[in-house]
Chain A
Amino acid sequence: MSYTSFKNIAIGIAFSPTLEANVSEAARVSCMFGAKLSLIHVGPRSDEKISIIDQYIGNCGQSQLSYEIIFTEGDPVGVILETVKEHKIDLLLLGALKQEKFVKFYLGSIARKLTRKATCSVLMMTNPSVIRKPCKHMVVNGLKDAHTEHTIETAFYVAHSLGSNQLTIVEEIEQEKVSIKIDDDQSLRKANLLKEKLKRQEELRVQGILSHIPSDEKKDIQVSTQPIFGQRGYSIGHYAQIVRADLLVMNAPKKSSFLDRFFPHDLEHILNELPTDVLIVR
């Protein structure tokens, strides 16, 4: 198997009103993966803070959880990234902010930077809550990319750990691949034939990846695929929102440059409007 199991999980915490929800969710996720939880706080150490966290973790009833609170100081992004390296963290948890008026989520600036620069996988949580919400349906990207196989395998591992039973692999096919411009009935027919062909190719590729995965891993999970023609990164988020997926699993982005923030692509779209919880696999 080529996936890395999550043995060390970390979450950056601030003493905000969402602290209890964040800590409970992190504790729960760590227990499901059977991992050790590191709570990173950028700020001075105090016994009061420790006792609050101890109390929250005690409240959520994950007695077998082993955890550690790390106090550091400095620029949050840099410090957290360093701690991640130092403690060999496999998965970093981030809480998203919620826009008032409508149910929309977005990432704060620190979380964004962390997502781009982190060296481990990142899980962005839109709905950290004190009470558990089951994770039933996962959507995974099936991009034509060397990294995809790794991502899909990790997705199966995560599905087992979180007890999901439905997994949809979305093959995003870029509109530019359909080289025929639709002008009239004839070109429409041709374009649709080409689309069907592209879909079949994508399907074959994904089935190829799936065949590498041991049947043990696939047991009890309903796997389906859905080809979509649309903009990379954006349409998969839109799809996850429509099917009300509980977790979206994505490849880690290639190095993002300064320009990407002005011309968003792939991951940047997802960071702008989180459709659901997002796991970025590295």
Chain B
Amino acid sequence: MTKKKTDIKGFFKALPKNIFSGFVVSLIALPLGLGLAMASEVPPIAGVIAAVVGGVLVSILGGSNVTISGPGNGLVGVILVAVATLGLNGTYAAIICSGILLTILGFLRMGKLADFFPSSAIQGMLAAIGLIILGKQFHIMMGNEMKLPGSIDYLLAIPSTIVGVFSYSHSGFTYAAISGVIALAIMVFYPKIRNKYFHLVPAPMWIVLISIGVSYFYELVLQQPHPVDPRYMISNIPTGGQIVSDIPTPNFNLVNSIGFWGSVLAITLIASIESLLSIKAVDQLDPEKRRSNVNRDLKALGLATIGSGFLGGLNVVTVIARSSVNVNNGGSNRSSNFAHATFLVIFILLFSTQLTRIPLPALMAILVYTGYKLASPSNVVKIFKIGKEQLIIFFTTLLVTLFVGLISGILAGVLMTFVIHVILNKDLELFIKNWRKPNVLMFKEKKGDQHYYINVKHFCTFLNFYRLKEKLNAIPETEDVVVDLSLCEFVDHTVMENLSAYQDVFHKRGGHLEIIGLDLHGTDSEHPFALRRLIPGIPFLTGNLTKRQTTLKEIAQGYSLEYEVDVKGNTEVLDKFRYFKTKKIEKIYNRLFNEDDSFSVFDIHYSEGEFIAKEDVRTTMLHIKLEHAIPEFTLDREGFMERLYAIAGYEDIPIDNHSDFTKRFYLLGKNPYRVQEYFNDDLVKFFECNSYYHVESDGVSLLIFRTQRTSGVKEIKKLIDFGNRLRKVVVKEVQVAY
């Protein structure tokens, strides 16, 4: 119970900060809410209603911590379609139904839904939504409102609107365009101005304040009517009392039509994807690194959407931009979301008439800017860097969404991704045969440092990433995890990107997530998130360093060693070791070594047996060349006989006065007496109090390694450290002995 009390205490302590943060968020939410609603062709107040209902319900029932909920920009496109086909009251009915579906998704624990969409397809969809918003609102911003049949037509009409601005016959339109351009300029240049006081008020609120200021200037100082044409001013913002009396009655007459459910599905799909992606992104911003309860949030969002729909509001989703403002202003729990809703109510009650002084183009400039950011060319460049195939997926989704519709767009994106994966691998069977297999294995290694070890088989793409994700979610972020993809023939961009996000989360919370086994996979681009494919037959590709390889490079610099990615052909130095008597070294790569090559760490690929009995092993080893001769010996943990069977016939060499050492270690050597002589107190103690490694001497050098898999970066650091200290002990040894 004491924990609960401190929680309440902490809550009240953080309350002032959260209220302030909620206030700042409401300054953005007000203009955005109005704008999004008008862009969707519903009454402007609908956006504010969604924000208020969402803020209240989600803050009470939700499962995330610092998110802000309200009307989302992704939904503009689908709501537009719904209003056109179903009418306003039919749209409210569709919103209510989508709220019910969202709640059901939450109860079915479908928070993982968003994982089934390839990253590039989602990017393409968001870009398409951005273009839809931008295309439509651009004309209003320029004082040239028009009605065109398709979203693509609006985009094509942009040049003619720009040209037309200079030939308006009516000055009211020209002023409308001026207000729009100024507002857009504020949005664009706001981040570039570095002034503490200027940044106290967010850009959209500056637009609102300046617009109202200008309006009063004309009315009170110049005593003139507002120069912007009245058609381009925000109209009909109801007062508090009117909102209650004007509550629309949702029209459920169309429930039996296909079009209705098409809209409901589209709204639900976008609402859930936008919310889930936002929650995921906001979790990464959370300074306290808490994990959101996604399914609970979905339920809360669904309920809020139902409520909002009945009150005449838009869908309630989790929104990333407002949430990040919340975090930046010190929001630390859900009370800031509640506060943001409260401030919105206060604004509407007190200032609803003032809002009619804002020119419509100024408000739409905010949306044009949002739309541009979603579809910004820099996103396209980013995707192109990852790989050409991602660009195909991106544009397929984008174009199908623009020309046909949202659901078809995302489906086309998914299909295209799959087709590209099949073509790249020239193998359909790989996906079909292995899709349903539980191909992810996770266990806590019982030996050594008790890492969590995850191994993925066959392939890992957006189709089955949820399995890997499930396992990753079950690991506390403070632990060390090794994800081994060496048995995967194919890993796609979605997985690489998501794993990288997991790496960040683990890193921030004190854990460590390492991806191994990709060094032999080929890629076509140099981006770290590029898809990777195991290419049989092609020996080695060094075009793109994996994250592990770049880190190795850094380690090399840290220990002032050289780093070499390429395969080293000459492996004769290792042939003298007994361990390799029965094994064939295939290649040595990822080498870290010092100037005279006397100290080197490397990944090694060797095989045992021949032809069908051949077994491939990849592991990491340390080789130290010594200046003096030492006896030949092999030392390992007692019981690890498997590595030593080749030397059968030798007995464990007991060391006098160190029964514990003899019990714990298995020591073999050609000449037992020399070995016994050589293992003096210092050396025995060194082995006793350090972690276990397999150590082998061929008379002039030492070979040190542990696990029979490639080591993670952390493990390599430990190995280097162990080797350095062992070398010191061994060198001292020699000086004493001779």
Contacts and interface: CB of A to CB of B under 8 A. Distances in A.
Interface of A: 21, 98, 101-102, 127-129, 131, 133-134, 136-137, 165-166, 181-185, 187-189, 191-192, 222, 224-231, 234-235, 238-239, 241-244, 269, 272
B438 A244 contact: no
B291 A185 contact: yes
A226 B290 CA distance: 31
Contact of A129 (B63, B295, B441, B613): B613
Contacts of B566: none
B617 A129 contact: no
Contacts of A98: 612
Contact of B294 (A128, A183, A222): A183
A136 B440 CA distance: 26
B708 A234 contact: no
A225 B609 CA distance: 28
B643 to A, nearest CB: 9
A230 B446 contact: no
B611 to A, nearest CB: 7
Contact of B441 (A102, A133, A166, A235): A235
Contacts of A131: 610, 613
7 contacts: A131-B610, A188-B474, A229-B442, A230-B438, A244-B617, A269-B437, A272-B437
Contacts of A241: 457, 487
B612 A129 contact: yes
Interface string B551-564: 00000000000000
A231 B439 CA distance: 10
B503 interface: no
A182 B640 CA distance: 37
A238 B476 contact: no
Interface of B: 63, 109, 290-296, 437-443, 446, 455, 457, 473-474, 476, 484, 487, 489, 536, 609-613, 615, 617, 639-642, 645, 708-709
A198 B635 CA distance: 36
A224 B437 contact: no
Contacts, number: 94
Contacts of A189: 476
Contact of A242 (B439, B441, B476, B612): B441
B612 A184 contact: no
Given A101-B536, A238-B455, A165 B642 contact: yes
Nearest to A185: B291
Contacts of A184: 63, 290-293
A228 B474 CA distance: 13
A129 B615 CA distance: 13
Contacts of B441: 228, 230, 235, 238-239, 242
B290 A222 contact: no
Nearest to A196: B444
A235 B438 contact: yes
Given A127-B612, A224-B446, A226-B446, 9 more contacts: A165-B641, A182-B473, A226-B443, A229-B443, A229-B474, A230-B438, A234-B437, A239-B443, A242-B484
B296 A183 contact: yes
A222 B708 CA distance: 17
Nearest to A233: B438
Nearest to B644: A165
A235 B439 CA distance: 8
A76 B151 CA distance: 67
B443 A228 contact: yes
Q: Is the interface of A mostly helix, strand, loop or mixed?
A: mixed
Contacts of A238: 439, 441, 455, 457
Contacts of A101: 536
B536 A234 contact: no
Contacts of B63: 183-184
A234 B467 CA distance: 14
Contacts of A183: 63, 291, 293-296
Contacts of A128: 612
Sort A-B residue pairs by CB-CB distance and give the 10 closest, nearest first.
A222-B639, A183-B293, A238-B441, A231-B438, A184-B293, A136-B642, A165-B641, A129-B613, A133-B613, A228-B443
A181 B446 contact: no
A203 B437 CA distance: 27
Contacts of B443: 226-229, 239
A194 to B, nearest CB: 11
Nearest to A168: B446
B298 to A, nearest CB: 11
A238 B612 CA distance: 20
Given A230-B438, A238-B455, A182 B294 contact: no
A139 B642 CA distance: 14
A231 B438 CA distance: 7
Contacts of B640: 222
Nearest to A18: B612
Contacts of B617: 244
Given A129-B613, A182-B473, A235-B438, A188 B291 contact: yes
A131 B613 CA distance: 9
Contacts of A231: 438
A239 B453 CA distance: 11
B474 A191 contact: yes
A129 B611 contact: yes
A133 B609 contact: yes
A227 B443 CA distance: 7
Nearest to A188: B476
Nearest to A178: B474
A41 to B, nearest CB: 23
Nearest to A128: B612
A184 B473 CA distance: 9
Given A165-B641, A226-B446, A181 B109 contact: yes
B438 A234 contact: yes
A86 B712 CA distance: 55
A188 B475 CA distance: 8
Contacts of B474: 182, 188, 191-192, 229
A242 B455 contact: yes
B446 A136 contact: no
A230 B442 contact: yes
Contacts of B708: 243-244
Contacts of B292: 184
A119 B489 CA distance: 38
B575 to A, nearest CB: 21
Residue from the set A184, A191, A224 with the largest chain B CB neighbour count within 10 Å: A184
Contacts of B615: 244
A222 B645 CA distance: 14
Contacts of B609: 129, 133
A131 B609 CA distance: 9
Contact of A136 (B291, B296, B645): B645
Contact of B476 (A192, A224, A226, A229): A192
A102 B489 contact: yes
A192 to B, nearest CB: 7
A274 B291 CA distance: 39
Nearest to B443: A228
Contact of B642 (A21, A137, A225, A239): A137
A234 B457 CA distance: 11
A166 B642 contact: yes
A98 B614 CA distance: 13
Contacts of B446: 224-226
A235 B617 CA distance: 20
Contact of B641 (A166, A192, A230, A244): A166
Contacts of B536: 101-102
B209 to A, nearest CB: 39
A241 B709 CA distance: 12
Contacts of B437: 234, 269, 272
Contacts of A269: 437
A222 B473 CA distance: 34
Contacts of A165: 641-642, 645
A188 B291 CA distance: 10
B178 to A, nearest CB: 50
Contacts of A234: 437-438
A178 B474 CA distance: 11
A65 to B, nearest CB: 21
